[in-house]
Amino acid sequence: MVIWVTHLLKILSLQQITITMCLSTPTPPKSGQSNGTCCLTPEAMCSNATNNNNNNDNSNNNNNNNNTDQTDTQLKHRSHATDAKQNKTKEQADTDDNLGYKEENAVYKEYADKAHQIAKEAEQQKEEVEEEYHPQIRWPDLGAQTFLHVGALYGAYLLFYAKFYTFLWAAVLIFVSGIGITAGAHRLWSHKSYNASLPLRIVLAFMFSIAGQRDAYTWALDHRIHHKFSETDADPHNVNRGFFFAHVGWLFLTPHPKVIAKRKVIDMSDLEADAVVMFQRKYYIPLFALCSIILPVVVPWYFWQEDLWMSFWINFTMRFTWTLNVAFFVNSVAHMYGNKPYDKNISSVEVPVVSFLAMGEGWHNYHHVFPWDYKTGEFGNYTLNITTGFIDLCARLGLASGRKSVSPDMVKRRAAKCGDGSRFLSDEYAHKNQVWGFGDRDLPCEDIVELAKMQN
């Protein structure tokens, strides 16, 4: 009996070793070798092993069943892999045509054809517009500009012979009419960056009329288009057409059809509801004659007996043309030469010298990024932004209210994101609001909304 049990255990032990070896090191059958214990296919090997175990010992059944399950899974995987490979080859054969295009690319091709068609139509439209648009010189305007600029040089020459008060008067007019442009036509009427009481609006309309740069409504209309469609054909003084065009050319050339089209669609309802603006628009010609020519010229003649001829060339022609060119610098220089701390992707730049001359309007990169800021610049330095000082003073006097601005944090964020690095280029800001991935609580809300849409 003992001998029989020992013999049985020996057999079982040998079977176990054989199963383990076979599972761990499956050996492919050699040619001519019979399908014995270890040299079967994995499936057969495991099947044999399981059968053997079942026949010999119930205690080993669980282990062997586990082994069988694992092996079955492996086999299934292999079998699936083989099937998938075969299916893939079949699929590829079905979907590939003889040029190598696939089904999904055919769909793409369909979209690509549509996109190509749209692009072609857009190109045709562009060509049509370009064919139609041949800028023509408006000779009366060119004549006026020539007269003003030549007259300004003559006025500058006469300044050497003029009385000191005449010089002073010209400087005062430049300042007063300048404020009319910057605080009135620009920051108030074009950008609504603050609210002005009726008395202040009347004063600003008067000051702006001294400048003589068309009526406030027309000025604001073109300026809103300039901001809204900057650097496109619809921009009245599109800087992409060169320095000269942006500076003065746009005033004596026929405008691009797109500028005319945009003039009809920009919302001007706020100014149409402003009685002061509409009055100035309605009576612009007499107001221009009175405020821009008669008053500046007659005052020196009447009060300190300046020669009328001299007063005309200094206090109208030279003074007017000076202010005109300073405004032009904002459209030309401040769109070409300088830093772009807040957005490097737009043409407008920061030019301190233009800011000095134009009473704070040279911080043009900032201004195009945040056009609603009544300061039109980041800093509250009145030396290079005297208009801000004027508006602040009016606010103190109760004449202005609702000054809109931008928080320093918003400025820094924008500069760190889009600026050219001339400001806020530091680790502190550059690495602010970085995220580790989806789920980071600092992920911007608009990005989360965008992501949700994409997932849908």
- 137 and 253 Cβ atoms separated by less than 8 Å: yes
Select the span of 167-175, 201-209, 340-348, 395-403 touching Zn ion (CB under 5 A). Answer: 340-348
- 354 and 329 Cβ atoms separated by less than 8 Å: yes
Residue owning tokens 């009473």: 359
Least distance to Zn ion, CB of residue 314, Å:
30
Query: What CA–CA distance (Å, rounded) separates 216 from 287?
Result: 12
Q: How many residues bind Zn ion (CB under 5 A)?
A: 1
Return the number of the residue (313 or 366) whose C-beta is nearest Zn ion.
Answer: 366
Q: How far is CA 380 from the centre of its chain?
A: 25
Return the number of the residue (173 or 369) whose C-beta is nearest Zn ion.
Answer: 369
Return the number of the residue (213 or 348) whose C-beta is nearest Zn ion.
Answer: 348
Least distance to Zn ion, CB of residue 280, Å:
19
Least distance to Zn ion, CB of residue 239, Å:
8
Give every CB contact of residue 272 below 8 A, 6+ residues apart in sequence.
217, 278
**Sites for Zn ion among residues 345-384 (CB under 5 A):** 348
**Sites for Zn ion among residues 164-183 (CB under 5 A):** none
Return the number of the residue (348 or 385) whose C-beta is nearest Zn ion.
Answer: 348
Return the number of the residue (212 or 377) whose C-beta is nearest Zn ion.
Answer: 377
Least distance to Zn ion, CB of residue 237, Å:
8
DSSP 321-377: HHHHHHHHHHHTGGGTSSB-SS-TTSS--B-HHHHHHTTSTTBHHHHHHSTT-TTSS
Least distance to Zn ion, CB of residue 343, Å:
12
Give every CB contact of residue 207 below 8 A, 6+ residues apart in sequence.
176, 177, 179, 180, 184
Return the number of the residue (191 or 423) whose C-beta is nearest Zn ion.
Answer: 191
**Sites for Zn ion among residues 95-124 (CB under 5 A):** none
Return the number of the residue (259 or 314) whose C-beta is nearest Zn ion.
Answer: 259
In this chain, which residue has its C-beta nearest to Zn ion? 348
Return the number of the residue (163 or 403) whose C-beta is nearest Zn ion.
Answer: 403
Buried b (16+ CB within 10 A) or exposed e, 334-366: bbbebbbbbbeebbbbbbeebbebbbbbbbbbb
Q: What own/partner pairs with CB < 8 Å and gap ≥ 24 does 280-288 have? A: 280/205, 280/208, 280/209, 280/215, 280/216, 280/217, 281/215, 281/216, 281/217, 281/218, 284/209, 284/214, 284/215, 287/209, 288/209, 288/212
Helix (H) or strand (E) holding 19: helix 2-24
Query: What CA–CA distance (Å, rounded) separates 83 from 262?
Result: 63
Least distance to Zn ion, CB of residue 186, Å:
6
Least distance to Zn ion, CB of residue 143, Å:
27
Least distance to Zn ion, CB of residue 226, Å:
6
Least distance to Zn ion, CB of residue 390, Å:
16
Return the number of the residue (314 or 333) whose C-beta is nearest Zn ion.
Answer: 333
Q: Which residue type occupies 337?
A: Y
Q: Which residue type occupies 153?
A: L
Q: How far is CA 319 from the centre of its chain?
A: 38
From 298, 319, 309, 308, select the one nearest 171 (Cα to Cα).
Answer: 319
- 230 and 206 Cβ atoms separated by less than 8 Å: no
Least distance to Zn ion, CB of residue 334, Å:
7
Return the number of the residue (256 or 319) whose C-beta is nearest Zn ion.
Answer: 256
- 193 and 360 Cβ atoms separated by less than 8 Å: no
Interaction site with Zn ion (CB under 5 A): 348
